[in-house]
Structures are given as structure tokens and as C-alpha cells.
Amino acid sequence: MVLILNNLQACDATGADETVALPTLAGASHAELIEALGSLGVPNRQLRMRSSQLWSWIYARGISAFAEMTDVSKDLRAKLTEAFSLERPQIVTEQVSQDGTRKWLLRLPKRGDEAEAPEVETVYIPEADRGTLCISSQVGCTLTCTFCHTGTQRLVRNLTHGEIVGQILLARDRIGDWPGAEAPQDGGLLPDSERKITNIVLMGMGEPLYNFENVRQAIEIAADSGGLAHSRRRITLSTSGVVPEIGRWGAEAGTMLAISLHAVNDELRDELVPINRKYPIKDLLEACRNYPGLTNARRITFEYVMLKGVNDSPGDARALVKLLAGIPAKINLIPFNAWPGAAYECSDWEQIERFAEIVNKAGYASPVRTPRGRDILAACGQLKSASVKLRASERTKATISSGD
Ligand code: SAH
Ligand code: SF4
């Protein structure tokens, strides 16, 4: 059973709201808050103090109305309310899988030259001891990995840093992950930890290193200890292998790194992950060896999607182990998540186990990532297009529908 909590699409199928929305400060950087306050006539000598107050209300307490900022003067609150909002990205649909995974389809503000308001997806995956939020960095993707559904869509645009942070704020709102907030009563499972979102992964739509500056700024905001306070060690950026940006990312953002490897030789990787033609495996692994802060305690995760008869032989497993020798690494085997029209099948379970055994024997803990949220098409590589399909048929349905 799939519980669809929100289907705002039904009320506003066109997104053609002509009223001009106020600019939102939800997702703003320190500099942007200072600029906003300056534009309202706050004197220079007060700007720092006032922006810190706003920061704490927006990012530590998660308020979504300026009126709640009780230590800010009434006059300033009124001015803020008149000129700005604290709006999050608009929810088009919110789905809760039977395993507790939640997926939001979000609509971003339309820009001048865009025919339609772009949409992206955010997924929350609760487990017993952790909660992982998977966020998107681009609408679509310029790369064309042959096994990835997002890769079949053209790039619409990069997300701004505010839109990337907006996904975190919205998820925190919806699962009650603010101090004193209540968890939702809809049967969705939540982890036992004090915080509901313990980990953030940039594994949604898009190639985050092709939107470097916005993603970097967003992580800056998310990691700030006086606000959202997500430790950089619990934030993971996944890349298909944009080699020239890997070292810079480590130096400037300092998050954990995941590499979408998926093949052990250039011939096959050229086909599966075409960016490999530009940056072959040797160069990619060299960039990994030089990743700033890499130690045995801070390993790189190598993602490996299991494609039946393509990359899943015992020989491939042995070659994988050999290839990664000397790099502090974790290996994540991902069962292929099929999508309509995909040219691949997921490896048989016995084949995955055989593969995992070889990798384990070589000393890698290689958990096979259990597919989550399959009933709501929320698994890796299934984002966006599939839900567009789903949504079309759901528009006319009641708010609770049956899945598989
Ligand atoms: N663009 C980045 C991050 C987003 S994709 C990257 O490629 O790393 C997140 C992960 O999901 C990547 O490892 C990607 O290769 C994997 N993936 C994509 N499509 C998939 C599918 N259909 N089944 C399983 N994993 C998939
Ligand atoms: Fe883009 Fe990553 Fe999908 Fe490749 S796997 S098409 S890089 S989102």
C-alpha cells in the first residue's frame, strides 16, 4: 500500500500562479541574510547580530514565519514579512512507502525563460539507527549513464544553493525533525535516534560536481554548527567521476565521497558511465588516492550497480578488489533498480552473493544496499521520470491508493 499524503497537483495542475511570490530566505547564506536585512534599513552595526538571530530561527529551530521570531523587534518582523517569505519548495506529491521510505516530488519556482516550473525529488530513508536524506542537485542530468533513468532526461537546470538547502528544510518539516516538533502520525517508520535525519547523501538527481558552487554553498549552510548542524562526515557526495573537481571538492567542502564505479575496465565503463571516455578509470582512481582527508577512518565508497551478465561475474569481483588495492575504500553493491524501457536486468541474487563473498573475503565490508521504497519508485536511479508517469495517473485518484 502506498500512502499519498499530499497531492497538491490536483489543486494546481498548471502551476500557473500569477501572483509574484516574495523571495524566500529559507536556504539563504549568511551574506544573503545580511543583504536582506540591509535592504530593510537595519543599521550596519546591527547587521551581524540580527543575521545571527535569523540564522538560528531559520536553521536551528526551523520556524517558517517571521512572526515567531520573538527576540526580533515587532517592527523588523513586520518589515521582513512584507518583503520576504520563509517558503520551502512546493510539495507536489508526498508518498510514504510500506518500508517507511518517503519521497517528495517538489516544484521549484519557474524562471523567466522556463516553459514549466521544474520539478525534483527528495527521498528520506529511515533505518533503525539512522535516517538518510537523499537530495538532488540538478533537474535532470547532462550525463547519460545507460542504466540510470535520470540519465534519459535532458538537463533542465542547476539547483540554487537555496533550493538544495530547501530540500533539507522541507524534509525536516515533514518528519518533525526540529527541536520540540512532533513526528508525523501516519505510520511511517522513523529511526530511534534523537535526530531523524542523521545522514545526507547527494545521490538524487543530477551530477553534483557539475553544479559545484551551489552544492558547496548548500553544504556550507547545512554543516554550520549554529544551524542545521549536519556533520560533514555524515554528508556524502556521489559523483560519476568528474575527475578535475574531486580534489577541489575535498579541499573546499570536506565531505565524504562516493564514486559511481560500476565497471572494472574502461571498455565497459565507457559504455555504462560515458564520462569515463573523458576521465578513464586510472585518472579517477588517482584522484581518489589524493582525496583530501582520506584515511582508514574516512574511506571512499565505491558504488557498483549489479547488472545481470554485464559486470557481475566472479572475475569482475576479483578485478574490482585488485583495482582498489591501496585505497581506503568501502564497496557498496547496488542491485539494479529497473525502470520502464531499461536495457538491463538486475543480477540474480545468488550471483550478487557470490560477488559479495569475493569482495568480503578481500577484507571489504560490502553491504548490498537493500532497495528501499521500490513501491513508490524512490530507489536509486529511478527518480523523477517514473514519478511523472505515476503522477499523471494519480491526479484523478483519491488520496490513498494501492501500490504493489
Ligand atoms: N550523479 C551522481 C549522483 C546521483 S546517482 C552519480 O552518478 O554518482 C546515485 C547513484 O545511483 C549512483 O551510484 C548511480 O550510478 C546509481 N544509479 C543510477 N541509476 C541506478 C539504477 N537504475 N539502479 C541502481 N543504481 C542506480
Ligand atoms: Fe547523471 Fe548520476 Fe544518472 Fe549518471 S548515474 S546519468 S551522472 S544522475
> Domain holding 74: CATH number?
1.10.150
Helix H or strand E encompassing 313: none
Ligand 2 atom at shortest distance from the alpha carbon of 205: 8
Best residue among 150, 302, 305 to mutate for probing ligand 1's pocket (most ligand atoms within 8 Å of CB) is: 305
Is 181 in the same domain as 237?
Answer: yes
Q: Indicate the SS3 state at residue 326.
A: coil
Q: In this model, does residue 134 exceed pLDDT 80?
A: yes
Same domain flag for 348 and 220: yes
Q: Which ligand is nearest to the CA of 150?
A: 2
Residues 53 and 135 in one domain: no
- Ligand nearest the Cα of residue 155 is 2
pLDDT for position 394: 37
**Shared domain check, 213 and 79:** no
**Cα–Cα distance between 1 and 233 in angstroms, integer?**
35
Distance CA 287, CA 228 (A): 30
Q: For residue 239, report the distance from its CA to the centre of ligand 2, in Å.
A: 8
Domain co-membership, 40 together with 178: no
Same domain? For 246 and 355 the reply is yes
CB contact set of 4 (below 8 Å; sequence gap of 6+) = 93, 94, 95, 394, 397, 399, 400, 401
How many domains does one find in the chain? 2
What local confidence, expressed as pLDDT, does residue 66 receive? 97
Tens digits of residue pLDDT in 6-35: 433 333 334 444 567 899 999 999 999 999
Q: What is the pLDDT of residues 58-81, one digit of tens each?
A: 999 999 999 999 999 999 999 999
Same domain, 142 and 272: yes
* Shortest-distance Cα residue to atom 17 of ligand 1: 381
Instruction: Tell me, yes or no, whether 118 lies in a domain.
Output: no
What are the pLDDT digits (tens) for 194-250? Answer: 889 999 999 999 999 999 999 999 999 999 999 999 999 999 999 999 999 999 999
64 assigned to some structural domain: yes
* Atom of ligand 2 minimally distant from the CA of 381: 3
- In DSSP notation, 99-145 reads TS-EEEEEEPPPPTT-SS--EEEEEEEE-SS-EEEE--SEES-S---
Identity of residue 287: A
Strands 131-134 and 199-202: parallel
Residue 217 lies in a domain: yes
Q: How far is the CA of 39 from the centre of ligand 1 (A)?
A: 42
Average pLDDT, the chain: 87
* Ligand 2 center–CA 56 separation, angstroms: 35
- Measure 195 CA to ligand 2 centroid, in angstroms: 30
User: 133 is in which domain, residue-wise?
Assistant: 126-187+194-401
Residue 242 is assigned to a structural domain of this protein: yes
Same domain? For 159 and 223 the reply is yes
Cβ atoms within 10 Å of 289's Cβ, excluding its own: 11
Single residue among 50, 83, 116 that ends a domain in this structure: 83
Residues 76 and 130 reside in one and the same domain: no
205 CA → ligand 2 middle, Å:
7
**pLDDT given at position 194:** 82
What pLDDT does residue 380 have?
58
DSSP H helices, 196-348, are: 212-223, 243-252, 266-272, 281-289, 314-323
Where does ligand 2 bind, in terms of residues with CB under 6 Å? 141, 143-145, 148, 150-151, 206-207, 240, 260
What's the confidence (pLDDT) of residue 32?
A: 98
**Catalytic: which of 119, 121, 163, 207?**
121
261 with 365, same domain: the answer is yes
Q: Is 335 contained in some domain? A: yes
Q: Which residue has the higher pLDDT, 399 or 228?
A: 228
Reported pTM:
0.90
Q: Are residues 182 and 277 in the same domain?
A: yes
pLDDT band at 389 (very low <50, low <70, confident <90, very high): very low
CATH number (domain holding residue 352): 3.20.20.70
Residue 103 within any structural domain of the chain: no
Do both 364 and 220 map to the same domain?
yes
Ligand nearest to the CA of 336: 1
Q: Is residue 19 part of a domain?
A: no
Q: How far apart are CA 228 and CA 200, in angstroms?
A: 12
Q: How many CB atoms lie within 10 A of CB 39?
A: 11
121 catalytic, yes or no? yes
pLDDT band at 152 (very low <50, low <70, confident <90, very high): confident
Give the number of residues written for the chain: 404
- Is the residue at 3 inside a domain? no
